[in-house]
Amino acid sequence: MDAAERLEFYTIDDIYNLPEGQRAELMDGELYMMATPGTIHQRLVMVLSNRIFNYIQSKKGGCEVFPSPFAVFLNADNETYVEPDVSVVCDKDKITEKGCNGAPDWVIEVVSPQSRPMDYNKKLFKYRTAGVREYWIVDHERNLITAYDFEHDDMTDHAFSEKVPAGIFEDFEIDFCGIDIG
């Protein structure tokens, strides 16, 4: 069903008018409500954000890392708004008080049971077409990290027992074996 066939077409204003505490994402005018993430999900987001932040700081890099909730106006329009679990933005001009206006350089989504179809399908397409350079899907239940390097048209799968190299940084990898998520 396309936007013309839907009864309602949502915009960023609808996101801002949600009841306090309610989170949603918006893709092509369609609203997707978000569930509260679980403990393992939040631990993974925190550890990944911290490791990336520490790497950037150690290199005195210009990129910034933002854990969710962080607003990403993916297409810099009024019809698409996402809150990736981890966003790495290297272009300071994209960062505003409201979030990121355009595609982050690196996005990580930590899969929750209810987010699986969105993370593996819809977001994969949206991130790639919007200009995200690298996209990781971290799926604890499947013991799988799928890393998409869109710049080199490459996709690799890794187990939680492996080190996963970051494509946007030449000398950085995350050792998932060393992550204690309880």
Q: How many other CB atoms are there within 10 angstroms of residue 108's CB atom?
A: 27
The band of 168, judged by pLDDT with boundaries at 50, 70 and 90, is very high
The whole-model pTM stands at 0.94
Distance (Å, rounded) from C-alpha 126 to C-alpha 129?
Answer: 5
How much of the chain, in percent, has pLDDT values that exceed 70? 96
Of 80, 90, 84, 93, nearest to 31 (Cα)?
A: 80
Q: How many other CB atoms are there within 10 angstroms of residue 166's CB atom?
A: 20
The band of 8, judged by pLDDT with boundaries at 50, 70 and 90, is confident
Distance (Å, rounded) from C-alpha 31 to C-alpha 179?
Answer: 33
The region, left, alpha or beta by phi > 0 then psi within -120 to 50, assigned to residue 21 is left
| Chain mean pLDDT for the chain | 93
Average pLDDT over residues 161-179: 93
pLDDT at 3: 47
Q: Is the pLDDT of residue 4 over 70?
A: no
pLDDT at 2: 53
Please check whether residue 140 is in contact with residue 181, taking contact to mean a CB–CB distance below 8 angstroms.
Answer: yes
For 95-129, how does the pLDDT look when each residue is reduced to its tens digit (9 = 90+)? 999 999 999 999 999 999 889 999 999 999 999 99
The band of 6, judged by pLDDT with boundaries at 50, 70 and 90, is low
Could you say which DSSP state residue 121 is in?
Answer: I
For 35-62, how does the pLDDT look when each residue is reduced to its tens digit (9 = 90+)? 999 999 999 999 999 999 999 999 999 9
